[in-house]
Each structure stands twice: as structure tokens, then as C-alpha cells.
């Protein structure tokens, strides 16, 4: 079983550049991790993250001062962060987004060996870093998956119900479907995107070249058809598998998409605020109703009956302090009883005097008549 799956993965999914296109250098003066041969940039951070499967992956975070969205980019199967570095910088600038890219286990300077389940753990570690280190919220994150990167992208997107959006760039239906035109999903297939795309609840943009020789354009079209919340797709005429970024329509359409989903979120926030303001108008009536609640709580206490007595189990748990408390209550009870008798006697005597006085008054009135 495992051998078949590994065979499929080896033939299709993973071709990490060898050697890696970059080296990691620790700058002792600044305490920063740098990517050689690229110069240090103030808005770029390089980090190492530990995944739940025990590998250590390299991530690259690009900060934009005007960003309201964060793009989590999963690259293709024959690239690493060194090859994607300049593209990530350009995307952050043109789209006005923060961007995090990462190398899968076994790619670049990430440890371990490439596998389907490693990529799922890799993207989880990157997303967790966005939340915990950079303060990103799920509603601000756009997942971007290119080629094999559509696998971890859709796996995570299917489990995050409040994502801002998903971008699928030259995506695959599944690993097996890239090689064979199968009509159903087999247990040994990998990256079963065809089964996960219906579970994604946010807007989905699909970009695919019509002349893709690696992953046929039909993969992108079918994934778009299966999406719940479809956005106008981009079918690049003449585009191949690895050159779509060079088409002017690519950045133009991508920018339009991100602007649209950001405005859509702002509109939802404004609507929610308006609804809250409307509900606030009802507050005076609610406050009047709320004033009745203390009386209701008093009535409720009066209706409640004290328990018949502690259970056998609770009797065993009576502490010395509880015993003292009972003793105090017993003393208070006798004191109250004594006061009650005194009060009753006093009230009785007063009542008798009052009755006598009223009788005299009544006789006086009769005589005067």
C-alpha cells in the first residue's frame, strides 16, 4: 500500500532543485537569519519552523506597510525559496500584501524528505506562524497554491472556514489524474484536490494556461466548476505551466481579485456594524426589562426549596470549617427564635392596648350621637 503511494509521489510530485539555490547564513551582529546570495532587506524575515512531523522548514516573510491581506504561497514542485525570492518581493509590492513563502520538507534548506503528508504539516506550521508571530487573522489570509502547491493549499483551506480567499495557479485535480485520465479517486492517489475543493467556503480564483503541457487546463476548469464561491477565472491563452507570471493579464487579474475580496470583507464589516447600531436602539427597552430581573431572581430564590439533606457521599466530606459554620447557624437560629418570641409578645401587648383605645373612641362617638 505504502509502496504504491510512494511510487506515484516519486514519479510526479517532488523534484526539489539540487543543489539548493540558496544558503542560510546567521548574522551574529544582528542576530538575523539571512538568505545568501540575496542582500538583507528591512521588510524581509527568514525563519526556521518546526513542524508537527518533526522536520524543520525555512520560511520567508515579506512585510508591506499598507497591507490588509496576507498571502500564504505554496510553490510548485521544482522550485525553492531562492528561485521564488524575487517574485515574492514583486508580488508583495504590486498586490500590496504581506506574503509568506516556505520550502517543503526536503526542499531548499528545509530538513526531511518530501512527501504528501509532510506538505500538509509544512503549511500548517507556516499558517500557525502567521497567526502567532505576525498576528494575522484567518479572515485576512489568502492561500495561494501553484501546481503541486494546490495540494497543501486546498487541504488547509478545507479546514479553515473563515479564510479571505484562495488562489489556484495551474492546479491539479489529483496526483494520479495528472498521469492518467481516471474517472474516480483511488485510495493510493495523492493530493485529492477534486474531493476537497467543494469544502472550501471562501472565494476561489483559478489561473491556468491553455497550453499547459504538464497539467492540462482541464484540471483548473474542473476545480473551478466544483468551487462553491466562484470568481471569474483567468484562462491565459498560450500560457504554459511555468510562465504565467510573465503575462500582463496575470498581475492585473490577481490584483483585481484581491481588491474585490478586500472590499467584500469591508462591506461585511460595515453591515455588521450597522446591525449592531440598530440593535443598540433597542437598549432602553431592554434596560427597562432588565430592571425587573432582580425581583425575578428574588422570587426564584423564594421558590427554590432547600435540599432535604446531604448525600452519604457529601456527609463524608464535611470539614471542620463546615462543622463550625453549622454551629454558628444553629446559634443564629436560636437567637432569631428568641427575638421572634420577644417580638411576638411585644406585638401582642401593643395590640391589646390599641384595641382598648379604639373601643373607648367608639363609645365616645356613640354618646355624642
74, 105, 110, 147: the active-site residue: 147
Give the number of residues written for the chain: 369
80, 212, 216, 227: the active-site residue: 212
CA distance 125 to 144: 15
Q: CB 216: neighbour CB atoms within 10 A?
A: 21
Of 172, 18, 153, 147, nearest to 77 by C-alpha is 147
- Is 212 a known active-site residue? yes
- Is 241 a known active-site residue? yes
Of 113, 145, 128, nearest to 6 by C-alpha is 113
Q: CB 155: neighbour CB atoms within 10 A?
A: 23
64, 219, 241, 253: the active-site residue: 241
Residue 248: enclosing H or E segment and its boundaries? helix 248-280
DSSP conformation letters of 266-323: HHHHHHHHHHHHHHHTTHHHHHHHHHTHHHHHHHHHHHPPPPS---HHHHTT--HHHH
Note whether 92 and 62 are within 8 A (CB).
yes
- Is 368 a known active-site residue? no
SS3 at position 22: coil
Residues catalogued as catalytic: 147, 212, 241
Amino acid at each position: 500500500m505504502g509502496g504504491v503511494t510512494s511510487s506515484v509521489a516519486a514519479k510526479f510530485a517532488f523534484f526539489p532543485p539540487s543543489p539548493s539555490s540558496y544558503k542560510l547564513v546567521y548574522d551574529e551582529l544582528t542576530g538575523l537569519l539571512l538568505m545568501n546570495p540575496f542582500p538583507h532587506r528591512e521588510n524581509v524575515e527568514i525563519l526556521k519552523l518546526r513542524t508537527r512531523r518533526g522536520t524543520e522548514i525555512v520560511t520567508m516573510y515579506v512585510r508591506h506597510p499598507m497591507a490588509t491581506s496576507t498571502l500564504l504561497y505554496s510553490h510548485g514542485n521544482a522550485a525553492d525559496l531562492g528561485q521564488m525570492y524575487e517574485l515574492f518581493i514583486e508580488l508583495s509590492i504590486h498586490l500590496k500584501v504581506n506574503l509568506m513563502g516556505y520550502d517543503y520538507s526536503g526542499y531548499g534548506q528545509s530538513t526531511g524528505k518530501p512527501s504528501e503528508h509532510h506538505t500538509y504539516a509544512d503549511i500548517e506550521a507556516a499558517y500557525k506562524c502567521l497567526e502567532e508571530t505576525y498576528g494575522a487573522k484567518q479572515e485576512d489570509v489568502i492561500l495561494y497554491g501553484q501546481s503541486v502547491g494546490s495540494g497543501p493549499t486546498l487541504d488547509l483551506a478545507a479546514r479553515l472556514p473563515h479564510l479571505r480567499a484562495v488562489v489556484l495557479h495551474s492546479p491539479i485535480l489529483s496526483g494520479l489524474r495528472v498521469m492518467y485520465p481516471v474517472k474516480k479517486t483511488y485510495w493510493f492517489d495523492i493530493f485529492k484536490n477534486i474531493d476537497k475543493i467543494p469544502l472550501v467556503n471562501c472565494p476561489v480564483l483559478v489561473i491556468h494556461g491553455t497550453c499547459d503541457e504538464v497539467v492540462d487546463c482541464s484540471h483548473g476548469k474542473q476545480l473551478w466548476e466544483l468551487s462553491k464561491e466562484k470568481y471569474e477565472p483567468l484562462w491565459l491563452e498560450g500560457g504554459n505551466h511555468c510562465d504565467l507570471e510573465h503575462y500582463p493579464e496575470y498581475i492585473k487579474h490577481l490584483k483585481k481579485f484581491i481588491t474585490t475580496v478586500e472590499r467584500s470583507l469591508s462591506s461585511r464589516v460595515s453591515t455588521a456594524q450597522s446591525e449592531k447600531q440598530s440593535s443598540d436602539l433597542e437598549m432602553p427597552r431592554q434596560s427597562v426589562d432588565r430592571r425587573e430581573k432582580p425581583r425575578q431572581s428574588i422570587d426564584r430564590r423564594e421558590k427554590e426549596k432547600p435540599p432535604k439533606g446531604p448525600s452519604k457521599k457529601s456527609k463524608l466530606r464535611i470539614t471542620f470549617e463546615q462543622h463550625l459554620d453549622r454551629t454558628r447557624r444553629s446559634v443564629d437560629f436560636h437567637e432569631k427564635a428568641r427575638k421572634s418570641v420577644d417580638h411576638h409578645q411585644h406585638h401582642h401587648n401593643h395590640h391589646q392596648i390599641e384595641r382598648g383605645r379604639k373601643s373607648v373612641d367608639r363609645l365616645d362617638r356613640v354618646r355624642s350621637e
